[in-house]
Amino acid sequence: MGQLERKTAIITGGGTGIGRAIAKRFHNEGATVLICGRRMNMLKETAESIDPNSPRILCVKTDVTDEKEIEHLYKSAMSKSGRIDILVNNAGVMRFGSLAETPLDDWDLMMKTNTWGPWRLMVNVLPYMKKAGGGSIINISSIAGIKSYPGAGIYCASKAAMQVISQVVAMENAGDNIRVNCILPAVVEDTELSNPIFGEENVPAFWDKLRPLHPLGRNGKPDDIAEAALFFATDQSSWITGTLLNVDGGRHMATNRPAD
Ligand SMILES: NC(=O)c1ccc[n+]([C@@H]2O[C@H](COP(=O)([O-])OP(=O)(O)OC[C@H]3O[C@@H](n4cnc5c(N)ncnc54)[C@H](OP(=O)(O)O)[C@@H]3O)[C@@H](O)[C@H]2O)c1
């Protein structure tokens, strides 16, 4: 029997990268998964790659910066299975630029996607989790939320804000057995996050450059993050809430100098 039998999970940004790996891991443990994102073709690709015939996968086209689409998403979850046990706020965007040069639109994009969306999703699913007797919210933040990366200031701020909001939601809802935890990855390969910044063809070189900065000697893979998400989704973490877990090959303690 899977660890998530009879559970229903919403996973934002489930069409690619980390979200796709989490959807697959949760589905393989028996969960019903609602995967959402703006591109339906990518959601369908995820569903196909997991199990083209599964009745436990629902693709819901959703922009997490739009309140109406968020409402459609959680109502779809309730129509599908009558409950919401797990929410993974994974959808995210990153744009580079010094603080002086960051266009105002980039502030809006990152804050709305990485902070506002997760907040709106959390507060909207809380009543359903209460009704189900509890729940687990897993927010995919970043080590950028605890480090000051030049050229990524607004991304850092959006993830730091997400972490603080997560901890307040954790405090406000602990009495209802709703747990809220953040995962802080470092560089994760096989994702689209860096593509708009470097151009798809240059991203592998970017990963190569960053690999030695992770003390464990490699960048992450989406499955590394999916394992941590599974831990937070199950009762194995039943006494853990408000945690910021670095899943980062040790990068949070590293300097900009490769290990000897
Ligand atoms: N890759 C890394 O190195 C790394 C490191 C630390 C943290 N993270 C975090 O990990 C999370 C997942 O990113 P990833 O690395 O897997 O990169 P990714 O492949 O770019 O995934 C991001 C996903 O978010 C979705 N998305 C973006 N804006 C959205 C919106 N407004 N509404 C709904 N969905 C939206 C995208 O799908 P659509 O474009 O189809 O909407 C995409 O599937 C992000 O929160 C990111 O900040 C990544």
User: Which CA distances in Å does 236 have to 53, 241, 258?
Assistant: 30, 12, 35
Residues facing residue 179 across a β-bridge: 136
CA angle, 98 then 13 then 69, to 5° = 100
Pocket test residue of 10, 22, 38, 41 for ligand 1, highest count of atoms within 8 A of CB: 38
What average pLDDT does the chain have?
A: 95
Q: Residue ranges per domain, the chain? A: 8-249
Q: Is 37 touching ligand 1 by the criterion CB < 6 Å?
A: yes
Q: What pLDDT, on a 0 to 100 scale, did the predictor assign at position 152? A: 95
Q: Is 9 touching ligand 1 by the criterion CB < 6 Å?
A: no
Does the pLDDT value for residue 257 go beyond 90?
no
Going by DSSP bridges, is the β-strand pair 57-61/86-89 parallel, antiparallel, or unpaired?
A: unpaired
The closest-lying atom of ligand 1 relative to the alpha carbon of residue 188 is: 3
HSE toward the beta carbon, residue 168, CA cutoff 13 A: 10
Q: Are 164 and 206 in contact (CB under 8 A)?
A: no
CA of 1 to the centre of ligand 1 (A): 30
State pLDDT tens for residues 157-188: 999 999 999 999 999 999 999 999 999 999 99
State pLDDT tens for residues 42-51: 999 999 999 9
Q: How far apart are CA 247 and CA 239, in angstroms?
A: 19
- Token digits for 117? 């969306």
Q: Are 143 and 94 in contact (CB under 8 A)?
A: no
CA of 123 to the centre of ligand 1 (A): 21
CA of 168 to the centre of ligand 1 (A): 23
Q: What pLDDT, on a 0 to 100 scale, did the predictor assign at position 258? A: 56
Q: What percent of the chain has pLDDT over 70?
A: 98
Q: Are 158 and 118 in contact (CB under 8 A)?
A: no
CA of 196 to the centre of ligand 1 (A): 12
Pocket test residue of 16, 95, 109 for ligand 1, highest count of atoms within 8 A of CB: 16
Q: Is 62 touching ligand 1 by the criterion CB < 6 Å?
A: yes
Does the pLDDT value for residue 260 go beyond 60?
no
**What would the CATH number be for the domain defined by 8-249?**
3.40.50.720
Q: What pLDDT, on a 0 to 100 scale, did the predictor assign at position 17? A: 97
Q: Is 85 touching ligand 1 by the criterion CB < 6 Å?
A: no
Whether 149 is catalytic is: no
pTM of the model: 0.97
Strand order in the sheet with 178-185: 57-61, 32-37, 8-12, 86-89, 135-140, 178-185, 244-247
Q: What pLDDT, on a 0 to 100 scale, did the predictor assign at position 198? A: 80
Going by DSSP bridges, is the β-strand pair 135-140/32-37 parallel, antiparallel, or unpaired?
A: unpaired
Neighbours of 76 (CB within 10 A): 17
